[in-house]
Amino acid sequence: MTIRTARPNRAQHFQPRLYCLKKLESILLEMQDTKSGVKGTEQKLNITTIPHVIAGNDTIAWISNKMKTTTEEAQAFGTMLVAYGYIYPLQNHKKLVMCNDSSLYRFQTPYFWPTQKWVPDDSDYGIFTLLLHAVCLCFKQAHYNHLHEWLNHKWDFIVMQAAEQYKAGKERKKPDRVVFDCQERAYWMVNRPPVSLSNSNMFYQQAIMRSKVKSSVSLGALVKYITTYKNHDPLLASCLPSNPWQTDHDAYWTLNMRRVEVPTKMRVERWSFSLFELLSDLRGRDDFKIFLKKEFSGENLAFWEAAEELKWGTSSSMSTKAETIFKTFLAPGAPRWINIDGRTMGLTVKGLEHPHRYVLEAAQTHVFLLMKKDTFFRYLKSPTYKDIQKKALNPEPHNFSPANLEQNALNRSPGIHPIILWQQEEEEKAKAAAASAPVDVKAMMSKIDRKK
């Protein structure tokens, strides 16, 4: 006789993703608490007052204080909330990250939370796209044609629904309309991220037009790269003087500090591999600056560093940095004017009218190639590089037997948990505050009397 068991319900199974989303939503509800949550204010955006707006730095500070984590970890957690659609940016809709500055954000309405499991329908996306094109005209014709071709079988229905929603939106108050548009746009940015047709086409064209290389040439280049870097790979060659992770001997870290006065021979040798290796090492870049200063040609490297600072700096200082770079390197009669071709100069100057992180990419690449073809090879032949080669240290390897390494591993004490460290710091702060507080003489006398 066969015993039949009831088939388990799918909802009864443990769903890790749903559990994680519920945990996120519980934290999100704490963040929206009027008393202990993130402070929200009214903010004017395009002459419209938007309620309950939060700043990126306030949000990251709240997460860091709530979870007892570093600022970097709190920023990563905030970025995850933005990526999942729980928080959306007000100013830069396409940038789904949490910035640690005064960038403006809002909490997404629970209607659009992922746990609602709304399936992003093609028709709804088409209606939203038409409304976006009708309101702000920020939709390119190529995108419109692509959407029309994709949803051609129900285009009349989409146009009719978009027209009705547009009329209904006109009847709302302007702040409500702006907030609702931002919420819906944030939802579609997460569920249907836009694809830049022009960029993708450009990438495919470059891939097709790229010259083909014989397999023998490709293998030869790979063998050359491995031969060059094999002594500098920590997996293929041992660390000198010893591996600090095995021996607890910190001489390796001391000798390879970022701006150590006298570098090692291995480090100096790596500078000669390429200009990228030289500029990636701050100590090598400082030596390269000394050489350029002697030749009175340091403006190219100064411009390259300024472009890197703009690329990886904060968004709040982007406009100021771009203006400073233009006045210093690109403007007619600039004090450190760089020599680049007219086409690159025109594109760069035009892009600086609306600066962004990669506005100097073309000019920076042009300057990098100039230094790579000319200045870099002159530096390798210069007395500056030869002198640093002579002064470079060649540390002797420290020989540790397997028995010593095993004993050292047994003696190594485990690290202290960050929460315990934080608790110890808080206790020390409380003790210091109590020691610096004024002494209540009456209270002390009463305690002494009680003891008697």
Helix H or strand E encompassing 54: strand 48-55
- Does 25 share its domain with 91? yes
Decide if 373 contacts 343 (C-beta within 8 A).
no
The tally of CA atoms less than 13 A away on the side-chain side of residue 68 is 9
Summarize pLDDT for 392-442 with one digit per residue, the tens.
988 877 766 666 666 666 666 666 666 777 788 888 888 877 777 665 656
Instruction: Tell me what percent of the residues of the chain surpass a pLDDT of 70.
Output: 66
- Does 275 share its domain with 138? no
Tokens linked to 313: 């700096």
DSSP SS3 for 17:
helix
- Domain of residue 63, CATH code: 1.10.10.10
- Does 106 share its domain with 130? no
Say if strands 48-55 and 104-107 run parallel, antiparallel, or are unpaired.
antiparallel
Identify whether 12 is part of a domain.
no
Binning pLDDT at 50, 70 and 90, where does residue 203 land? Answer: very low
Mean pLDDT in residue range 185-191: 66
Tokens linked to 417: 């948990």
Question: Lowest-confidence range among 55-69, 82-96, 270-284, 352-366?
Answer: 82-96
Binning pLDDT at 50, 70 and 90, where does residue 160 land? Answer: confident
On the 0-12 / 13-18 / 19+ scale of CB atoms within 10 A, 269 is middle
Identify whether 136 is part of a domain.
yes
Cα 432 to Cα 122, 288, 420, 424, distances in angstroms? 62, 48, 18, 12
Does residue 397 or residue 279 have the better pLDDT? 279
Identify whether 142 is part of a domain.
yes
- Does 90 share its domain with 145? no
pLDDT at 9: 45
pLDDT at 306: 93
- Does 379 share its domain with 268? yes
pLDDT at 3: 39
Longest dimension (CA), the chain: 97
For the cut 90, the answer to whether the pLDDT of residue 142 exceeds it is no
Task: Measure the CA–CA gap between 339 and 320, rounded to whole angstroms.
Answer: 23
Identify whether 81 is part of a domain.
yes
Summarize pLDDT for 327-378 with one digit per residue, the tens.
999 988 899 999 888 888 888 888 888 888 888 988 999 999 999 999 999 9
Tokens linked to 247: 């021996």
Task: Measure the CA–CA gap between 276 and 280, rounded to whole angstroms.
Answer: 6
Q: Which of 350, 367, 391 is the last residue of a domain?
A: 391
Tokens linked to 210: 């790229």
DSSP SS3 for 177:
helix
CA dihedral 32→38→39→42, nearest 10 degrees, is: -60
Does residue 195 or residue 262 have the better pLDDT? 262
Binning pLDDT at 50, 70 and 90, where does residue 249 land? Answer: confident
- Does 357 share its domain with 386? yes
pLDDT at 34: 82
DSSP SS3 for 139:
coil
Q: Which of 336, 367, 391 is the last residue of a domain?
A: 391
- Domain of residue 248, CATH code: 1.10.167.10
For the cut 60, the answer to whether the pLDDT of residue 209 exceeds it is no
Local structure of residue 49 (DSSP, 8 states) = E
Tally of domains within the chain: 3
DSSP 69-129: --HHHHHHHHHHHHHHTSEEESS-TT--S--SSS-EEEEPPGGG-GGG-----HHHHHHHH
Identify whether 296 is part of a domain.
yes
- Does 281 share its domain with 378? yes
Tokens linked to 293: 């200063």
- Does 329 share its domain with 256? yes
Residues forming a β-bridge with 53: 41
pLDDT at 451: 57
Question: Lowest-confidence range among 110-124, 302-316, 335-349, 366-380?
Answer: 110-124
- Tokens 């500056």, located at residue: 384
Q: Which of 92, 112, 132 is the last residue of a domain?
A: 112
Mean pLDDT in residue range 378-399: 89
Decide if 277 contacts 232 (C-beta within 8 A).
no
- Domain housing 100: 19-112
- Does 357 share its domain with 310? yes
- Does 147 share its domain with 252? no
Tokens linked to 160: 């009719």
For the cut 90, the answer to whether the pLDDT of residue 384 exceeds it is yes
Identify whether 178 is part of a domain.
no
pTM check: above 0.85: no
